[in-house]
Amino acid sequence: MQLINLDDIIANASQPRKTFYEASLKELAQSIKERGVLEPIVVRPRDGKYEIVMGERRCRAATIAGLTQIPAVVREMSDDDVACDSLVENFQREDLNPVERAKAIEGVLKFMGMDTCARTLGVSESTIRRQLELLELSGPVQQALVEAWDKSGSGTFTEAHARPLKVLNDDVGTQMRIIHKINSENLSVAQTKQLVDAILQVPDKKEAFLRISLRATEEILKATGRAQNKTRPYKPQTADRHLAALSKAVDDLSNLVDPRIANFLKMEEMNQLMSSVTTLQTDLGQMRDKLRESIQKGDHGWQEVYIHCPLCGRIELLGSLRCAVCMTMLRRCLDCGNYDKMYERCSIAQQYVYMSEAEDPNETSKSCKCEDYTSRFEARKVA
């Protein structure tokens, strides 16, 4: 170790750290004025001068402090050793930004294998790969990451936020708008991934996704997903499962429908609910029209008349065989206005229908196919 004139020291061109923050250097310079350089720098002889291997930040701060000499350890070192030692010294320092660290690792890997590099730095190979991923980002995103790393900067943009943006390298403008949204709305890494995925899934809605909240984005994705599902090929074997799920959803919705809610909502809330109900009404109307069309094709002269299930009270189409809820036969002689319970016979056909069959018919009972059947329950015809 010896004292070396600062004028005889030159910087290392392969120094990993490219950014030196002025405020941090001034703090170190003040410490050097008061206590001196506590740890010597490391240099190597180079063309009559001394090239810095480790300690460029201390060297800069010593110059700011007004020193003319600095303690240094002089070593004979190869270029590979210099690059490796410089990286090891700077790798764990907070003031080496992620992009600088990634570039330094990239340089070391030119003469050192991935496993050796990982052991030298004391990190896993996966950590090194994650660092190198930052170099695959567009230049503006890398610059934004460097600026965000500045301790005096504001915002929440980190390298974890940056990685999901790689898939948008062809659209730098969108990347920068996402970074602005991250900083202004304090988005988490998970929310950033969600936003990027939404843009990739529905590119036509990109402008909306960049302006609205993530909650609204989720609603758009749900609506889009429902629309896409309706365009996929429909397999016959899925109909039964679809019917069961749809019936359950209708029951759940029926339980929720209560007009009294309008008495307790604000105007904006009522507008929102009205829009949702109208959208649902439109979808249901389209489905009802399709069902009516399909039924009419198979039954000429069919009319849309509903009756009440005699057991549970559910309203069913007159053409249905059983109640969808309690599975009771809907066309029972017992419920027909032409059935005489006292004499257990049909007053039209003048045939006996015993009470056991009239009360509990099956698929082969006369009532199921009787053209003269008239339910004693009030029917409701839909135009």
Rounded Cα distance between 150 and 174, Å, is: 23
Q: Do residue 307 and residue 295 come from a single domain?
A: no
Place of tokens 């059983």: 322
* pLDDT score recorded for residue 383: 42
pLDDT single digits (tens) 190-226: 999 999 999 998 888 899 889 888 888 888 887 777 6
Q: Chain-wide mean pLDDT for the chain? A: 83
pLDDT band at 21 (very low <50, low <70, confident <90, very high): low
CA distance 39 to 99: 27
Task: Indicate if 313 and 378 belong to the same structural domain.
Answer: yes
Last residue of a domain, one of 76, 106, 131: 131
283 within a domain of the structure (yes/no): yes
Q: Which two tokens stand for residue 165?
A: 């943006």
CA 373 to chain CA centroid, Å, is 57
Crossing angle of helices 79-91 and 114-121, in 10° steps, is 50
CA 36/CA 55 separation, integer angstroms:
14
Token reading at 327 = 């599975």
Could you tell me the pTM of the whole model? 0.54
Q: Domain total for the chain?
A: 4
* pLDDT tier for residue 148 given thresholds of 50, 70 and 90: confident
Kindly state the average pLDDT of the residues 67-72. Answer: 91
Residue 251 lies in a domain: no
Q: Are residues 296 and 364 in the same domain?
A: no
Query: pLDDT per residue over 305-316, tens digit each?
Result: 777 777 777 777
The per-residue pLDDT for 155 is 58
User: How big is the CA angle at 84 (ends 83 and 87), to the nearest 5 degrees?
Assistant: 85
- Does residue 246 belong to any structural domain of this protein? no
pLDDT average, residue stretch 7-18: 75
Residue 108 pLDDT > 90: no
Same domain, yes or no: 127 and 57: yes
Is 217:198 a contact under the CB 8 Å cutoff?
yes
Please give the pLDDT value at position 102: 87
All residues at 6 or more sequence positions from 39 whose CB lies less than 8 Å from its CB, including other chains? 55, 58
Instruction: Give residue 377's pLDDT.
Output: 62
| Of 68 and 367, more confident | 68
- The answer to whether residue 155 sits within a structural domain is yes
Rounded-to-integer distance, Cα 57 and Cα 9, Å: 13
Q: What is the CATH number for 68? A: 3.90.1530.30
Specify whether 269 is located in the same domain as 221. no
361, part of any domain: yes
Residue 339 dihedral angles phi and psi, to the nearest 5°: -95, 130
Which residues form the domain of 277? 259-301
Q: Clarify whether residues 115 and 160 are in a common domain.
A: no
362 within domain boundaries: yes
Is residue 135 pLDDT above 60, yes or no? yes
Instruction: With a cut of 70, say whether residue 54 has pLDDT above it.
Output: yes
